[in-house]
Chain A
């Protein structure tokens, strides 16, 4: 093999199959054009040096993007990462704490257990973070390469020519009316927290006593079977809260429609809470014994819980309407 053929091979092997032959032939004739009649190896080297690094030449021929995620979707990619990462990490940490409490055998001190949770927790958070990062990046990289209409969906660039009149269509958002990203992320994280607490209630929610081995969950508050029989209602509440968070995020400010949606969500959540808490068997008997209250006392306690929840729901719903009216 002479130098010229090797050079052409170095270029074409980096190119798509279908254009290899044509580009190879063209290169061959170009190189021969550049050489004098009776050429020596030195002449060939001079010519090849002029053409430069075969990898650079080949990259010039490629029209595939040489980046993973382009500027059109970069903004959406980053904001999605920022939203999903903390939520995923929160859920993984709650799950870890629940599992640790559940599997706590009492053979180690509480301090050891806590240190173990912190150690494993950091590791879990990192690996969950990597997973989320990997999959979101993969999806966006595929989108970048497949979606030819991406520029049209682009949220950062406008396809139409911009006019100063366009400013009129952008609503002015007063600060008091605005919904911050923190608020939205906060509410999603809160949903994740109570959802996980519901799932792991029998291992996490209860009365803790310091026993021989430190803090132990002695009396769970809820009757797990009964609590978990309400799962369809809980799923509805979670979905509604997530939907509300998405609407808040997209709107960016309080509107009447959003306030109504918020009111409906709060109402439904309140009704679900009442249904669950007024169930006769919802509380574990051991917990009730511990409280040693009469049935009247129990009813008062449940009534108080419902009232507190109702009040906070009412305040939330009302403030939505108040902000929408500004």
Chain B
């Protein structure tokens, strides 16, 4: 792996939790989650996603339940009350960070064009 690749992975890793939490306000099963993430352009390594879901459940941010009514049983995940609270706060943090960063990067762009 090149340095650029590993730095990019590192950069994305932190945002992954936020991305997943954002899609779990309504119940989703594993593959539907992958699809809704991919629809917004976020490609996620599946071998990272499923363990991440279990970890979120252990941290009581999401709850899970098996739906056996359809032809194939599926495990659905949804934000818990606590998870919603945390998600909203994280979202605020992210907005703040991204605003600050874009100001920084804009300044840098202006320097470049000089």
Contact = CB atoms under 8 A, between A and B. Distances in A.
Interface of A: 22-23, 25-27, 29-30, 32-34, 50-53, 56-57, 60-61, 63
Nearest to A31: B31
B72 A29 contact: yes
A29 B34 CA distance: 14
A50 B30 CA distance: 14
B29 A57 contact: no
Given A23-B50, A30-B30, A52-B47, 8 more contacts: A25-B66, A30-B31, A33-B30, A33-B32, A33-B74, A52-B46, A56-B47, A61-B54
B75 interface: yes
A247 B50 CA distance: 52
Contacts, number: 49
Contacts of B107: none
- Main secondary structure on chain A at its contact with chain B? helix
A29 B46 contact: no
A60 B47 CA distance: 7
A51 B47 contact: yes
Interface of B: 29-32, 45-48, 50-52, 54-55, 58, 66, 72-75
A101 B73 CA distance: 79
B50 A60 contact: yes
Contacts of B73: 25, 29
Contacts of B75: 22, 25-26, 29
22 contacts: A23-B50, A26-B30, A29-B30, A29-B75, A30-B30, A30-B31, A30-B50, A33-B29, A33-B74, A34-B31, A50-B46, A52-B46, A52-B47, A53-B47, A56-B47, A57-B51, A60-B47, A60-B51, A61-B50, A61-B51, A61-B54, A63-B55
A308 to B, nearest CB: 65
B2 to A, nearest CB: 20
A27 B29 contact: no
Nearest to B30: A30
B30 A60 contact: no
Nearest to B55: A63
Contact of A26 (B47, B50, B52, B58): B50
A29 B72 CA distance: 7
Contacts of B30: 26, 29-30, 33
Q: Among the interface residues B32, B47, B72, which one has the most CB atoms of the partner chain A within 10 A? A: B47
A60 B55 CA distance: 10
